[in-house]
Structure 1
Amino acid sequence: MSGMDGQHLGMRLSTAVVAFHEAVGTHLGVTAVDQRAYAIVAGEGRMSAGDLAKRLALTPGAVTGIADRLERAGILTRTPDPADRRRVLLTANPGAYGDLLAGLGAAMSALTATYTPAEQQTIADWVTRTIDILREQTQRLTDNHPR
């Protein structure tokens, strides 16, 4: 790998991704956990605050704070559940978040276009496997963390 091992490259990639999301968070006034919550709602669709709390392994009160910040940032909407008005449903609104990510998306698309289809397939495989490893390691740390 041109003089750099996978661990070193992985650390550099991780640091760059974290720095990018910190900058997005600063711009929007949200935290990294807020962004993770937003990504879950955006990826899975409208859900209750209770369901999001379970997905994040957080208390309902913590999710209320997250929803407050995401709503203030204009990227999440809370509405009463028509079937049970005691429940609140959360809906993602890409708005400002999507605008901030558009530049990254365009730059990544331009970079991807510089590779052959076969190279793109290899890169996609590496990224997919990296995501799987990160999820496994995150779960391992979560399972072994004393509460």
Structure 2
Amino acid sequence: MTGRWGSFPPAAPQDSGPRQAAADAAAAFGAAADEVDDAAAAALHVNRTDLRIIGLIGAVGAMTAGTLAEAAHLSPAATTAAIQRLVAAGHLRRDTDPADRRRAVVTVTPATAEAVGRIYGPIAEAGHRLLTGYSDADLELITGFLEAGRRMQVDQADRIRTHPAR
């Protein structure tokens, strides 16, 4: 597959037909999503890991540091450093866990949630407009491809984490 890495590392055997065109389009889509996240991180004055942390917490509302470390695939020390950085920058807030008052949870601040909405909301709206041109059958096919591709990517990330190249 070609895309954001071009011919490096060497790609799997290629053909010039629709299968290769789909693989190239999927790689280009991933690279474009990376560009959006780079721009969003810059707009929020955070790095990509911190943006991912904001997204993970925002998706569920509140997380403990341990749960966040696991979800973000970060060490506890790296997670603590990121939380401290994001609290100091005003993106996260530490609160007492309402379910267990002995624990702390982190939440996204309202100002950051609003900024994230301003950044990603128009993208969601544009994406929904794009989808209106497709039939239900087309959308089922696209959804199946995207879900299978997501699972494949997660499996490959797990493979890389478990068996690094070095």
Range into which the TM-score falls when normalised by the shorter chain: 0.7 to 0.9
**Which of 132, 136, 146 is residue 151 of structure 2 equivalent to?**
132
1:72-87 alignment to 2 at 5 Å?
74-81=90-97, 83-85=100-102, 87=103
Q: Deviations over 1:41-97 (max 9, x none)?
A: 233342211221233332333213322444456543221336354x43012352211
Q: Deviations over 1:78-122 (max 9, x none)?
A: 21336354x430123522112210110110010001111111111
Provide the secondary structure at the position in 1 that maps to 2:164.
coil
Q: Could you tell me how far 1:129 is from its partner in structure 2?
A: 1.0
Show the counterpart of 2:136: 117
Q: Could you tell me how far 1:14 is from its partner in structure 2?
A: 1.4
- 5+ residue gaps, structure 1: none
Is the Cα contact below 8 Å between 1:78 and 1:88 reproduced in 2? yes
- 5+ residue gaps, structure 2: 1-16
Show the counterpart of 1:50: 66
Is the Cα contact below 8 Å between 1:75 and 1:95 reproduced in 2? no
Show the counterpart of 1:34: 50
Greater mean deviation of Cα atoms: 75-84 or 10-19: 75-84
Aligned length: 146
Show the counterpart of 1:17: 33
**Counterparts of 1:73 and 1:13, CA distance in 2:** 31
Show the counterpart of 1:90: 106
* Aligned-partner residue type, residue 109 of structure 1: H
Q: Which runs of 4+ in 1 moved over 6 A?
A: none
Change (3 A) 1:2 1:140: closer
Change (3 A) 1:146 1:51: farther
Provide the secondary structure at the position in 1 that maps to 2:51.
helix
Q: Report the TM-score when normalising by structure 2.
A: 0.75
Change (3 A) 1:133 1:146: closer
**Counterparts of 1:73 and 1:102, CA distance in 2:** 22
Change (3 A) 1:121 1:63: same
Show the counterpart of 1:67: 83
Q: Report the TM-score when normalising by structure 1.
A: 0.83
